Structure 1
Amino acid sequence: MAGLSLVNVKKIYPASNDQKKAKKAKKQEAASDEKKAQLQVTSEGVVAVQDFNLEVSDKEFIVLVGPSGCGKSTTLRMIAGLEEISAGELYIDGKLMNDVAPKDRDIAMVFQNYALYPHMTVRENMAFPLKLRKVPKDEINQKVEQAAQILDITQYLDRKPKALSGGQRQRVAIGRAIVREPKVLLMDEPLSNLDAKLRNQMRAEIIKLRHRIDTTFIYVTHDQTEAMTLGDRIVIMKDGFIQQIGTPQEVFDHPANLFVAGFIGTPQMNFFDAELVKQDGRYAVVLDGMTVVLSDEKQERLAAHGVAAQHVTLGVRPQHISLQGDSTMVKARMDVFEMMGSEIHLHATMNGRDMVIIVPTMDISGDYADAFTIGKEVDFTFSGSACHVFGSDGKNLEF
């Protein structure tokens, strides 16, 4: 098995002549400058991935996550050799792979659309990559049977893909990849075509799989739930740039910027316009007249960076907001509530900003419909340990 390194990797798609002409015509327009920044258009072309640096340990499970168009699938395809690396270096097991053909990189890839051969049986689909390598027939049968047993598809080996469900086809696609015993297994949104219940089941199967086979995994998804449940570490991307790398708990508890804070977590973090102040040498946030002193951990981080009092964007996760408190509370207007079984999601408006409050149903006495009336004002508060403060540049002031 192998570790993997990406060093200053960059991917540029050259601009066509028409694109170059259009860019030149709009060069004088201010709006064009704004678009250029968003699309990362340079004289060389459109920059899809920029300054990508990542060290992946042997047998680690890495998840690349981000919105559509952020460059995660392009990065995966560069690792696979399906896209040329415009700049930077890719190392697998310590060997430079930039100019190595995909078939010689000792990797396997599972695609979103399964890519099974419809005229072949499951057994033949799984055996196909080994036949191409001229592996002895007995060894092929042994590896196919072993992979089928791991994935619980032994009973489907003589069926053709059209006779299988979406989840079964995905298992076959994974089986075809793992029979090769690759150094690195790449997975490009493999669960996006499945329904919600099947996605949950397949996530559990992939977690089991990674403990059964000794392979390095790199997994691409736009679903942050998949990222949080599958990855040893998560690489969060936006517009071709890495925003943050960390364990699921790290990126949830300590988001590096506003984008990460809003992207990770369901429902997403609430944001408020607030003031960061210092009172008696301690940091506090002031929101609509309510003052909340930050936790000791946050005090230390802010003090270490010499953060001054300033206007901030305050982030608080919905599950960390309380409707009960001994201190001063602030008001929000109820817009709608969603009954989720064990909890209720209250959608409200505070000073023109939408927000969500999660209330466990066990904390509600009587009929919840009477407790939460649309248009009614609710009082809420939160603790200092729940606060995340972001500066004018969107970065978390603690880091």
Structure 2
Amino acid sequence: MAGLSLVNVKKIYPATNDHKKSKKKHESGEEKKAQLQVTNEGVVAVQEFNLDVADKEFIVLVGPSGCGKSTTLRMVAGLEEISSGELYIDGKLMNDVAPKDRDIAMVFQNYALYPHMTVYENMAFPLKLRKRPKSEIDKAVREAAEILDITQYLDRKPKALSGGQRQRVAIGRAIVREPKILLMDEPLSNLDAKLRNQMRAEIIKLRQKINTTFLYVTHDQTEAMTLGDRIVIMKDGFIQQIGTPQEVFDHPANLFVAGFIGTPQMNFFDAELVGRGGHYAVVLDGMTVELSENKQQRLAAKGVAGQHVTLGVRPQHISLQCESGSVKARMDVFEMMGSEIHLHANVNGRDMVIIVPTTDINGNYSDAFTIGKEIDFSFSGSTCHLFGNDGKNLEF
């Protein structure tokens, strides 16, 4: 198998007349609606992308629509030309190598199966193109079918299969080649929620059974968190943060990552960071919370001064309080989610969400939470995040 390395990779699409007009409007002082940078060369879809992927590592590119993640994947596949930068697979420069010679396989969002072929023929097709012996093809197809639990469908046509079964066939067609790198472009986005959960588990099992490097693209942060060894979070063509799922959840690099990773998303408040006797504390609506020792040390090491900050606290890290030192909020609505309740409230004009386990509620939850009721909440100094005026995490 092989590792993958992208060094200052950039993708620029030639500007259309619409983009040129948009740029002129922006330069004349009118509001710029497009988020991607428009230069004299064109629209910059991917900005100096740098990533080293280890052999057999599972990397997930995640971000909102239009952030450049699929474009990056297609450049690795050779389906998009690299405008500048270098792409290495197994230590070899691949910029000008044809897709068929890169020893990669790709699973597309829409399955891309041949409707006139059976499942067996679809999976065997890439090996037939390579003129492999029939016995070798048969062995590879049946082994892949066994791994993906689709042996019973080998004689069927794609139209006779469900969406999840078709996706398994598409994955099977990719892995029979034993590629150095397996690329997957939002393969689960066409499936319903229950089937997506099942297929995520299948991909995790598949990863344990085959020895290959995975590069997976999705806009679903749940998929990213459950599948990836590391996550690459993108926005407007730029990499925002690279790290393990736990790292990006616990230590988001900026406001975008903090708001994008986590469901429901992180709550944000206007607050003040103050220094008290060499110790840092955050003040929100009259409540003072001293930060944890780890946060104190990181802020002190960077020499962070007291300042106005955006305070981030995840919904599951907020606790309801009835004490004078807490912050008051007004209940707007609540959602019963089975094992937990999502409380939507308003604090000084800002919306927030609090997650309350149903085990914490005595009696009927509809009596405990009334629309328009005033509630009190607080949080600990170990679970809050501080972001400066530039949106970056002040600790890192």
TM value normalised by structure 1: 0.97
**1:85 matched to which residue of 2?**
82
Q: Structure 2: how far apart are the matches of 1:194 and 1:27?
A: 40
- The Cα offsets for residues 22-53 of structure 1, whole Å up to 9 and x where unpaired, read as 25753652125x447x3200000000000100
Q: Is 1:31 aligned to 2:36, yes or no?
A: no
Q: 1:293 — aligned with what? A: 290
Contact residue 325 and residue 381 of structure 1 kept, 8 A: no
Provide the residue aligned with 1:266 in structure 2. 263
Among 242, 246, 262, which residue is 2:239 paired with? 242
Aligned residue pair count: 396
Residue from 193, 207, 210 that aligns with 1:213: 210
Structure 1 contact 112–191 (Cα < 8 Å) conserved? yes
2:15 matched to which residue of 1? Answer: 15
Q: Give the match for residue 372 of structure 1.
A: 369
- The 8 Å contact of residues 19 and 43 in structure 2, kept in 1 or not, is answered as no
> In the aligned structure 2, how far is the partner of 1:176 from the partner of 1:299?
53
- Give the match's secondary structure for 1:175: helix
Partners of 1:153 and 1:171 within 8 A in 2 = yes
For residue 70 of structure 1, give the secondary structure of its aligned residue in structure 2: coil
Contact 2:323 2:376 (8 Å CA) reproduced = no
Gaps of 5+ in 1: none
Matched, 1:320 2:317: yes
Q: Aligned partners of 1:57, 1:325: CA distance in 2, in Å?
A: 51
What is the 5 A alignment of 1:167-206?
Answer: 167-206=164-203
1:135 counterpart residue number: 132
Amino acid aligned to 2:292: S
CA distance 1:24–1:264, shift in 2 (3 Å): closer
Q: What corresponds to 1:330 in structure 2?
A: 327
Secondary structure in 2 aligned to 1:384? coil
| Residues 1:67 and 2:53 are matched in the alignment | no
Counterpart position of 1:122: 119
Match of 2:2, as an amino acid?
Answer: A
Paired amino acid for 2:4:
L
Question: Hey, what's the Cα distance between the residues in 2 that align with 1:248 and 1:398?
Answer: 18
Change (3 A) 1:245 1:375: same
Residue 342 of structure 1 deviates from its aligned partner by 0.6
Residue type at the aligned position of 1:87: S
User: Residue 356 of structure 2 aligns to a residue in which SS?
Assistant: strand
Aligned partners of 2:187, 2:33: CA distance in 1, in Å? 32
1:54 is matched with which residue? 51
User: Structure 1 8/28 Cα, relative in aligned 2: closer, same or farther at 3 Å?
Assistant: closer
Q: Does 1:43 align with 2:10?
A: no
Deviations 1:79-117 (A, max 9, x none): 000000000000000000000000000000000000000
Identity fraction in percent = 85
Measure the CA separation in 1 of the matches of 2:211 and 2:329. Answer: 52
CA distance in 2, matches of 1:267, 1:240: 25
> Structure 1 residues 128, 24: CA separation in 2 closer, same or farther (over 3 Å shift)?
closer
- Superposed CA offset, 1:127-165 (max 9, x none): 000000000000000000000000000000000000000
State whether residues 68 and 237 of structure 2, in contact with CA within 8 Å, keep that contact through their aligned partners in structure 1.
yes
Query: TM-score, with normalisation over the residues of structure 2?
Result: 0.98
Question: How far apart in 2 are the matches of 1:301 and 1:110?
Answer: 43
Secondary structure of 1:26's match?
A: helix
The 8 Å contact of residues 276 and 284 in structure 1, kept in 2 or not, is answered as yes
Any conservation in 2 of the 1:334–1:346 contact (CA below 8 Å)? yes
CA contact (8 A) 2:334 2:341 kept: yes
> 1:362-396 CA distances to partner (integer Å, 9 max, x unpaired)?
00001100000000000000000011000000000
Alpha-carbon separation, structure 2, partners of 1:250 and 1:314: 19
